[in-house]
Amino acid sequence: MNVLVIGSGGREHALVWKIAQSPLVEKVYCAPGNPGTARLGENVDIRVDDLPGLLDFARRQKIDLTVVGPELPLSLGVVDLFEEYGLKIFGARRNAAFIEASKAFAKELMKKYQVPTAAYEVFTEVDPAVAFIDRIGTPIVIKADGLAAGKGVVIAQDRDEAVQAVTDMLSGSAFGDAGAKVVIEEFLRGEEASFLAFTDGKNIIPLASAQDHKAVFDGDQGPNTGGMGAYSPAPVVTPAIHEKAMAEVMRRTVDGMAAEGRPYRGVLYAGLMIDGESVKTLEFNARFGDPECQPLLMRLKSDIVPVLLAVAEGDISNVRLEWHDEASVCVVMAAGGYPGEYRKGDEIRGLDGGGAMDDLVVFHAGTTEKGGRYFTNGGRVLGVTARGATVKDAIDKAYQGVVAIEWDGAHYRRDIGRKAIGR
Ligand code: AMP
Ligand code: GLY
């Protein structure tokens, strides 16, 4: 069969890498893809938000399955459009992807269906928001309602910072329309984990546990990014926590979405805050995490294509996932300046030494290729991903890959996976 992957990041390179290994697959296309996906299949120059262009391509090329990576095309309704034309597509429909596209909606859903989450209120005006901040005190968390590429959350340590964040968002100077509404919520302590599951709207099949590293600097310091690295499994997700997350977060959310007339089909990602026995939901995403997808797919033993197909067809009751026992780690290498304004066009050296092995893969994200040379072209540039017998082995192997690669301004965290060893 022919498969089309929509997107161009590290997550999509990992999806193309895994899908291309399936004996069921003849050819994988990626729209628009990156130099990493070009090596495994064929890139097609269609933007992720060009829905008519994507549909037209899928129909002409007789694509048997389309897999959506990022949130933007989901929230624009790419799944609804493909389904209207009888095409198979993996991803959440527009009204289900709303769980990510609106944080206010996600919070209201959680309240209604008793999904544990931080206490909160939603505001569209500065004055009542400031009154709420004064009532709750700091630290406090301010979130832009809409999509903001993982950067619409401010953890304010003092009143000035909180008031500034609310004012910036509600005045439209930060995040435009995405900030026209803000969610203000209680600051939660604990350790985060990314809990992902496939669902057909009824059945829920959890993926292996994973943990992201959101802050840009070692020790979780500095501003938040889209994710500077990830590993799997995450020991913070003990069997008891796993059970709780399935029962109180996943089951209630999937049932709640169905009851709301927004049946959820696809991969549902819950960002969890775990503190002792307590599990609370920070957010939902309607897609695979990036970079969590990279280590997760490296640990997935099963062919992913029948799984994606079963989700697209709406029945996963016969799906079983098998995982490698080994651990995997992805270290993100970022461009100078990221997550602020960042450099582009720096030549990347040492890429070819860095891995075409089964257990060490350099996933491309923000790169471009000219005449066999590679240059930086995005904030998160590469995701060096390794599998090893233990998390320590996987970390060592990933960093061996990382140190072989360099460009002007490159930076990465040196502590990816350390929390897992700490346990
Ligand atoms: P979100 O996009 O809602 O997951 O927020 C991004 C990041 O901000 C999370 O991964 C957490 O690191 C942090 N965060 C969000 N909400 C809270 C909260 N209520 N308490 C503490 N940290 C939070
Ligand atoms: N790595 C976090 C995310 O994909 O939202």
pLDDT in tens, 41-83: 999 999 999 999 999 999 999 999 999 999 999 999 999 999 9
State residue 147's pLDDT score. Answer: 73
148 burial type by CB count under 10 A (0-12 exposed, 13-18 middle, 19+ buried): middle
State residue 354's pLDDT score. Answer: 46
Q: Which atom of ligand 1 is nearest to the CA of 189?
A: 21
Own/partner pairs for 211-216, CB < 8 Å, 24+ apart?
A: 211/236, 211/292, 211/419, 211/420, 212/271, 212/289, 212/291, 212/292, 213/413, 213/415, 213/416, 214/150, 216/334, 216/338, 216/339, 216/413
State residue 422's pLDDT score. Answer: 76
State residue 177's pLDDT score. Answer: 66
Quote the ligand 1 centre to 31 CA distance (angstroms): 30
**CA end-to-end span of the chain:** 43
Domains of the chain: 2-95 (3.40.50.20), 119-186 (3.30.1490.20), 191-313 (3.30.470.20), 327-422 (3.90.600.10)
Sequence-ordered list of residues with C-beta below 8 angstroms from that of 135, at least 6 positions apart, any chain: none
Q: What does the alpha-carbon distance between residue 91 and residue 318 come to, in Å, rounded to a whole number?
A: 19
Low-confidence ranges of the chain (pLDDT < 50): 354
Q: What does the alpha-carbon distance between residue 198 and residue 391 come to, in Å, rounded to a whole number?
A: 25
CA distances for 301 relative to 71, 78, 389, angstroms: 26, 29, 15
How many Cα neighbours within 13 Å face the side chain of 132? 21
Q: Which atom of ligand 1 is nearest to the CA of 212?
A: 10
Whether ligand 2 lies within 6 angstroms of the CB of 292 is answered as: yes
pTM value is 0.95
Tokens, residue 241: 């926590």
Quote the ligand 1 centre to 150 CA distance (angstroms): 10
Sequence-ordered list of residues with C-beta below 8 angstroms from that of 149, at least 6 positions apart, any chain: 226
Whether ligand 2 lies within 6 angstroms of the CB of 9 is answered as: no
Query: Taking a C-beta distance cutoff of 8 angstroms, is the pair 298, 230 a contact?
Result: no
Q: What does the alpha-carbon distance between residue 286 and residue 121 come to, in Å, rounded to a whole number?
A: 22
Quote the ligand 1 centre to 273 CA distance (angstroms): 8
Quote the ligand 1 centre to 56 CA distance (angstroms): 38
Query: Taking a C-beta distance cutoff of 8 angstroms, is the pair 144, 210 a contact?
Result: no
Q: Within 293-406, where are the H helices?
A: 293-299, 305-313, 391-403
Ligand 1 binding pocket (C-beta < 6 A) is 118, 141, 143, 153, 155, 185-188, 192, 214, 224, 271, 282-283
Q: What does the alpha-carbon distance between residue 395 and residue 399 come to, in Å, rounded to a whole number?
A: 6
State residue 378's pLDDT score. Answer: 97
Q: What does the alpha-carbon distance between residue 97 and residue 359 come to, in Å, rounded to a whole number?
A: 33
The rounded mean pLDDT for the chain is: 95
